[in-house]
Amino acid sequence: MKTHIRRLVMRFNVVLQAVLRRGIPQDGVASGRRVYLVNVVALGAASICLFFCGFNIAAGAVHHDRFLAINFVASLLFLSVPFTNGFSNAAAAYLLLAFMFAIVVLLALLSGRDAGAHFFLISAGPVLPLLLGTRRPILVAALTFVAISTFLVLEFTLPTLVFTGRPWLPQIRNPFSESLDIGFDDSVFILSMFALEAVLACTTFVAFRLAESAEASLQREYARSELLLQNLLPNPIATRLKERPDSVIADKFDSVTVLFADVVGFTSSAARKRPEELVAFLERIFGEFDLLAEKHGLEKIKTIGDAYMVAGGMPIRAEGHTNSVANMALDMINVAGRLTVEFGEEVAVRIGFHSGPAVAGVIGRRKPFYDVWGDTINVAARMESSGVPGRIQITPEVKRVLGASYTFEERGTVNVKGKGQMPLFFLTGRSIDDPGVGGVR
């Protein structure tokens, strides 16, 4: 029995949500919230009309079939509002307001002042901006004026009571007085006030709930965009770009260390792999390199195909950046060896780096990109391209900066494109006498 009831409740909830979301556009967030609110108010008004149908029957006013008919027809009209959203979202809101105004005035004229039906017109002030939005202030003000004016006219011109029925609650004992006699007119007025409060409370609650949901969604989108920006640009650069979006961001550094790494044999390996295998392969390798860059406090500049570029000493100037790059290079060789075992195929990395002055900045308006330029970058790229798989090639300047903390192997003189003959070295590891973490020997 409980399972059957639970299924009925779930089905009812599915149908209810389908009606409430009827007509919500896929690309309009703000208008979608108003459509949802219009549907909520329409279903709420229909529920109130059906409730008063039952109340009239229970109160013995069945002979006043016009009130039953009006409330029943009104409930059908309100239920039809969500289905008009398919034609026009604005038309559905106007149709709902027209139905509410006409039905409230008609019921007030038929039931009299004491029934309190015309008090629903007071809700125009808080409800109209929620249903029509804030971009139509003149229209909202005009409709509010019409509603309040109509309320005042009805309040001062309606007779006290037009119809009566048998007392709904004939006698209620009151501990503070002898008795409290609530007749049919009092009952209708009390229920009308409760219904009015229900309309206002429900509309306000849903509006605030939608606003909170929208705010939470904006917070999530903001956090996502912040994370994306931080992944695209270094944090200090991203902060400067947000603070001065129209300014040119360019910095000159007297000393940076730039490293290039290339996955050897990637082109031939790519021809044998499926697209998803190829992407997973690079993601695994470069993901490990990203972790190393973070570990050593270095800035990943970019990846180009199977090439990886990282820099030290920028965008925040720091001492010891050459040592940090050297440590990362040694760790990259170790990672390549570990991934060779994991993949079951050789993962060879050719690495080269160089130190010197450089200029860095942000280029691109729609897709801002942080890059670095200068002869130092060209030499670092040549160190990688003229290097040997599984080795770390460096310049004499780098060897001099690293000093006795590391071990080297002299390669000899190499003809470097754009530079001519240069004496080059391989970085092989850290010195045994140095207290740091050991590298490749």
Q: What is the pLDDT of residues 344-397, one digit of tens each?
A: 888 889 999 999 999 998 888 777 888 899 999 999 999 999 999 999 999 999
Q: Label each residue of 68-99 as H, E or C.
A: HHHHHHHHHHHHHHHHHCCCCHHHHHHHHHHH
Tell me if 242 is assigned to some domain: no
The amino acid present at 32, given as its one-letter code, is G
Tell me if 436 is assigned to some domain: no
Tell me if 235 is assigned to some domain: no
Can you give the residue range of the structural domain that contains 72? 2-226
Q: 147 and 21 in one domain? A: yes
Contact 105, 119 (CB under 8 A): no
Contact 118, 153 (CB under 8 A): no
Tell me if 165 is assigned to some domain: yes
How many CA atoms are closer than 13 Å to the CA of 44, on its beta-carbon side? Answer: 21
The amino acid present at 229, given as its one-letter code, is L
Looking at the predicted structure, is the pLDDT value of residue 137 above 70?
yes
Q: 289 and 205 in one domain? A: no
CATH of the domain at 350: 3.30.70.1230
- How many Å apart are CA 200 and CA 223, to the nearest integer? 34
Number of domains in the chain: 2
* Range 325-330 average pLDDT: 96
Tell me if 243 is assigned to some domain: no
Options 11, 302, 338, 417, the catalytic residue: 417
Tokens of 164: 């009566």
Instruction: Identify the H or E element spanning 421.
Output: strand 420-430
Contact 121, 151 (CB under 8 A): yes
In the three-class reduction of DSSP (H, G, I as helix; E, B as strand; rest coil), residue 291 is classed as helix
Contact 227, 315 (CB under 8 A): no
Looking at the predicted structure, is the pLDDT value of residue 331 above 90?
yes
- How many Å apart are CA 64 and CA 56, to the nearest integer? 8
- How many Å apart are CA 29 and CA 284, to the nearest integer? 38
Options 300, 350, 382, 391, the catalytic residue: 382
Q: 137 and 201 in one domain? A: yes
Lowest-confidence range among 125-129, 307-311, 392-396? Answer: 125-129
Residue with the bigger pLDDT between 245 and 413: it is 413
Which of 191, 226, 261 corresponds to the end of one domain? 226
Tell me if 139 is assigned to some domain: yes
Tell me if 138 is assigned to some domain: yes
- How many Å apart are CA 322 and CA 400, to the nearest integer? 11
Q: 176 and 43 in one domain? A: yes
Give me the pLDDT at residue 14, please: 59
Give me the pLDDT at residue 278, please: 83
Looking at the predicted structure, is the pLDDT value of residue 311 above 90?
yes
Which pLDDT tens digit goes with each residue over 2-11?
676 776 666 6
262: which strand partners?
Answer: 307, 350
pTM, entire model: 0.57
* Range 189-200 average pLDDT: 78
- How many Å apart are CA 38 and CA 80, to the nearest integer? 12
Tell me if 265 is assigned to some domain: yes
Q: 333 and 288 in one domain? A: yes
Looking at the predicted structure, is the pLDDT value of residue 82 above 80?
yes
- Provide the pLDDT confidence category of residue 168 given band limits of 50, 70 and 90: very low
Give me the pLDDT at residue 192, please: 77
The angle, 0 to 180 degrees and rounded to 10, between the axes of the packed helices 29-58 and 184-232 is 160
Contact 282, 405 (CB under 8 A): no
The residue written with tokens 């009015």 in the block is 196
Q: 163 and 95 in one domain? A: yes
382 is catalytic: yes
332-350 in b/e burial notation, b at 16+ Cβ within 10 A? bbebbbebeeeeeeebbbb
Q: Label each residue of 206-252 as H, E or C.
A: HHHHHHHHHHHHHHHHHHHHHHHHHHHCCHHHHHHHHHCCCCCCEEE
Q: 415 and 321 in one domain? A: yes
Residue with the bigger pLDDT between 181 and 47: it is 47
Q: 393 and 298 in one domain? A: yes
Q: 309 and 193 in one domain? A: no
In order of 73, 247, 249, 304, the CA distances from 366 in angstroms are 56, 14, 15, 20
* CA angle, residues 183, 189, 191, in degrees to nearest 5: 100
Lowest-confidence range among 59-63, 186-190, 287-291, 422-426? Answer: 59-63
At 358, give phi and psi (nearest 5°).
-160, 165
Q: 191 and 269 in one domain? A: no
Q: 347 and 308 in one domain? A: yes
The angle, 0 to 180 degrees and rounded to 10, between the axes of the packed helices 29-58 and 89-111 is 20
Q: 176 and 135 in one domain? A: yes
Looking at the predicted structure, is the pLDDT value of residue 175 above 60?
no
